[in-house]
């Protein structure tokens, strides 16, 4: 099998490359923008057959010069939800994706791609239906715009197209993401530097640290992508989260107790961590008022209807495993 992974040096893309290698797929064409050269480390130990810069790839793929490709995993995007340059966002997240979709359809190549839970924005329901899609920023809108193109293409295509609306993904190989890295990553580094972690205080009708998100381990994201690779009959747009909303407080407790375990210390409940000043709450940032999702939870009915019964990790187990990985890297 010969596959392409765009965004291959990014968090999800790199984990996908390693996951593909683990099931015996090593003819992998990696595509990315390595202006940040340090991202190459995410692909150390991985087996790839070729590499293309994203600025060259789309036209060369559309021309057919890469030869027969079985499947494209399209993870490349601008994922900075605070980015306000709409031209940049639409160029990277919509136009490049549309060009890729057209080329895949012309060549009969399967396309598995990254959408986002940001398409739901201010909605209180998270089902893959237009009435629940209310993006709060141009990032979410750029992802929704491509999903709408896919919806129009699906009835007429005989080739697999599957889009995954990723919720809050955390896990290995996200160190390059800066402010867009997961809460778990930032809290691990806060603990290392100061012995405490910070969370947003009260906002949106939620008590301090009680805003809830659907946190999903990147290993689960990879597992679902690989399930679809093995099931070419499954097409559509699907939520990809744990299906379980948990408060940010749960992430903080998991990070701190995993770090404490590494030091031979016993776990502590949230109340004691707050009392000791280990979990600290800060005022909600004014820049995020009206632009912040206080609650997300993936409705997994459509995913389960395909026959994908993958069991997702909860925060306690997923974050503990991630912290162990971070400690091993250090």
3-state secondary structure of 205: coil
What is the phi/psi pair of residue 142, to 5°?
-65, -35
Q: Choosing from 120, 139, 166, 322, which is the catalytic residue?
A: 139
Reading the block at residue 171, the tokens are 């896990």
Task: Please confirm, yes or no, whether 39 is among the known catalytic residues.
Answer: no
Task: Please confirm, yes or no, whether 51 is among the known catalytic residues.
Answer: no
**Separation between Cα atoms, residue 228 and residue 82, nearest integer Å:** 31
Report the sign of the C-alpha dihedral through residues 219, 220, 223, 229, in that order.
negative
Cβ pair 117, 110 in contact under 8 A:
no
**Separation between Cα atoms, residue 287 and residue 289, nearest integer Å:** 6
Q: Choosing from 177, 203, 281, 292, which is the catalytic residue?
A: 177
**Separation between Cα atoms, residue 289 and residue 266, nearest integer Å:** 37
Cβ pair 300, 243 in contact under 8 A:
yes
The radius of gyration of the chain's CA atoms, rounded to the nearest angstrom, is 20
Residue 215 bridge partners (DSSP): 168
Cβ pair 280, 199 in contact under 8 A:
yes
Reading the block at residue 301, the tokens are 């009915």
**Separation between Cα atoms, residue 278 and residue 268, nearest integer Å:** 10
Catalytic residues: 139, 177
């Amino acid at each position: 099998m010969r596959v392409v992974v765009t965004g291959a040096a990014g968090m999800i893309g790199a984990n996908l490359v390693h996951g593909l290698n683990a099931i015996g797929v090593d003819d992998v064409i990696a595509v990315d923008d390595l202006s940040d050269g340090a991202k190459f480390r995410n692909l150390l130990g991985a087996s790839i057959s070729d590499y293309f810069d994203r600025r060259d790839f789309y036209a060369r793929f559309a021309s057919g010069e890469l030869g027969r490709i079985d499947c494209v995993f399209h993870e490349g995007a601008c994922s900075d939800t605070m980015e306000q340059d709409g031209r940049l966002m639409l160029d990277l997240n919509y136009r490049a994706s549309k060009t890729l979709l057209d080329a895949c359809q012309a060549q009969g190549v399967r396309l598995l791609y990254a959408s986002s839970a940001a398409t739901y924005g201010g909605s209180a329901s998270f089902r893959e239906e237009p009435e629940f899609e209310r993006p709060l920023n141009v990032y979410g809108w750029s992802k929704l715009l491509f999903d709408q193109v896919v919806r129009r293409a699906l009835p007429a295509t005989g080739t697999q197209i599957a889009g995954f609306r990723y919720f809050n993904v955390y896990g290995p190989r996200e160190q390059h993401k800066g402010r867009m890295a997961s809460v778990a990553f930032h809290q691990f580094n806060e603990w290392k530097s100061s012995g405490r972690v910070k969370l947003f205080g009260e906002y949106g009708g939620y008590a301090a640290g009680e805003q809830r998100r659907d946190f999903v381990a990147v290993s689960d994201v990879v597992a679902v992508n690989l399930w679809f690779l093995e099931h070419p009959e499954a097409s559509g747009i699907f939520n990809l989260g744990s299906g379980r909303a948990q408060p940010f407080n749960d992430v903080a407790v998991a990070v701190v107790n995993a770090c404490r375990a590494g030091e031979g210390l016993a776990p502590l409940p949230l109340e004691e961590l707050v009392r000791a000043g280990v979990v600290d709450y800060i005022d909600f940032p004014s820049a995020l008022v009206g632009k912040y999702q206080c609650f997300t939870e993936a409705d997994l009915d459509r995913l389960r209807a395909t026959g994908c019964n993958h069991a997702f990790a909860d925060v306690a187990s997923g974050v503990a495993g991630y912290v162990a990985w971070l400690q091993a890297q250090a």
